[in-house]
Chains A and B, each alone.
Chain A
Amino acid sequence: MLTSAFTGQIIVSGKLFQLLTALTVGILTYIAYHYGKQGRTWEIRQLDALEAIYDGIGRAAETGRPILMLPGISNLGNPQTLAGLTLFGEISQRSAEIGVEAIASASSTAVITATEAIVRGAYTAAGKPELYAPGKYVRWFGGDQFAYAVGSAGQIMSTKPSVILYAGYFLFDVIVSGDMGSRVGAVQIGGTLGSMEMISMMCDHIFIGEELYAASAAITQDKMSMATIAGQDWVKLSAVGLMVLGILVKMAGSDAILNLMGM
């Protein structure tokens, strides 16, 4: 354990390994980003749910029905909500460019505020700021989980969206809105780490696990973002390597890796 001669302990007990892991994630991602800046390129494999989003935007343009985005019941501190919002940022801009309405509703008022900013930014970037009006595209039904579930189900019934994207943190609430989405014939695309089984039951296409986080990078095809995904893969490879090493060391009768992780 690292200690200082004057103040005693520096790192909180049991968190040294966590700190090293966090630093490793940061360093590996930054190295990949650095390579990306130097011109190295990576490709992301085709994501089924992402292809469905592309098709969905076209489908919405043909049918004249909106695209509905639901970022879930969590707040801005949840990375899943942030992933959903970044994905929504891309979708709303593409939709604004081709004249498709991208609407949303959320449970947290902080998420509502961020979503409004995203929609405003999307219409401005698409050169159509006059089409944006506060409260027109983003709705709030209350901070309660079931108020959100029932409110978004009602929004689905009244707007009859062509595509519904569930990207964020969901629990049982998704089953209410998901059922309504199926009834109005919407293509449903989902990604969460909250209630994956519910999303899998309701949606036609799903982002499996981390695909939710990679989707916003993949949709832009931005070289720098793709580079960070490569860094993410390096981190995963390191984690797998550590797991294999841990198994081998444990089989040899040593607790060295376990002790290292508990530092």
Chain B
Amino acid sequence: MSKTLTYYRTYVIRALIIICMIATLASWYLVSPPIDALANELSIWNMNIVTFTLFVGVITILSRYVQGVKERADNWVFMLYAIVLIVVWIIFGTFTGIYADIYQTAFLSTKITLHISILGQLIFFMTSAAYRLFRIRTTRTLLYALCTATIVLCNSPLLLGPFPVVDKISFWLLNNPSMSGSRALMLTGGIGGAVLGIRILLGLEKGALRATEEL
């Protein structure tokens, strides 16, 4: 693809983004049924386009795994297993529909079971993460660890039983410094996100949306 074509292509995408952005914002702030209808239509188009990107994902995963099976790469048996499952589930879903009883039974007994097993493992990962946190390498992690330890202790039966008042300490920590800190993060994050959007529209950010001559 020539540089010029890429350059125009990127500008066309940016123009489309600006149109979609204005339609969505206008629909949010203004009382106007035609603008609402336009924003709704654009949202449906967006969903359709995103659905098409699913093919990119499936093709990526299949091409990689087929190559892995051909070359007998590490764990190729699992790759083969994944290929078979993807193909079977697509055929199965296409013919029975995803709300059919048999499809739902298969889904609940495989995917959901795996999902719950991962959730169960999280507690071990959290313990491992807590271990790393409590090694306390910097002043900031010292403060973090002190607050965490205080909340853990104040919620333990060992302290709560004889001294019920300690409950208030953990509530104070959660409702005052923690809440104000998280709200500050949310506020500044919101402003930062809005300004990032403006930077992208102005073409100042590098990435898939920036039109540059080097692309």
Contact = CB atoms under 8 A, between A and B. Distances in A.
Interface stretch (B58-66, B95-103, B157-165): B58-66
Given A85-B207, A138-B60, A236-B188, A112 B53 contact: yes
Contact of A196 (B50, B54, B111, B182): B182
Contacts, number: 192
A143 B51 CA distance: 12
A128 to B, nearest CB: 12
Q: What range describes how many residues of A lie at the interface?
A: 35 or more
A18 B194 CA distance: 13
Interface string A165-207: 0000000100110110010000000000100101011100000
Most chain-B CB neighbours within 10 Å: which of A113, A134, A214?
A113
A172 B122 contact: yes
A232 B194 CA distance: 9
B196 A82 contact: yes
A216 B119 CA distance: 33
Contacts of B71: none
B195 A93 contact: no
Interface string B67-99: 000000010000000000000000000000000
B149 to A, nearest CB: 14
Nearest to B130: A201
Contacts of B64: 135, 139
Which 5 residue pairs spanning A and B have beta carbons closest together? A79-B193, A213-B192, A210-B192, A109-B57, A89-B207
24 contacts: A10-B31, A11-B30, A15-B28, A15-B29, A22-B29, A26-B198, A80-B189, A89-B207, A93-B206, A109-B54, A110-B50, A112-B60, A113-B56, A124-B214, A143-B57, A176-B125, A193-B186, A198-B129, A201-B133, A202-B132, A209-B188, A213-B193, A213-B195, A213-B196
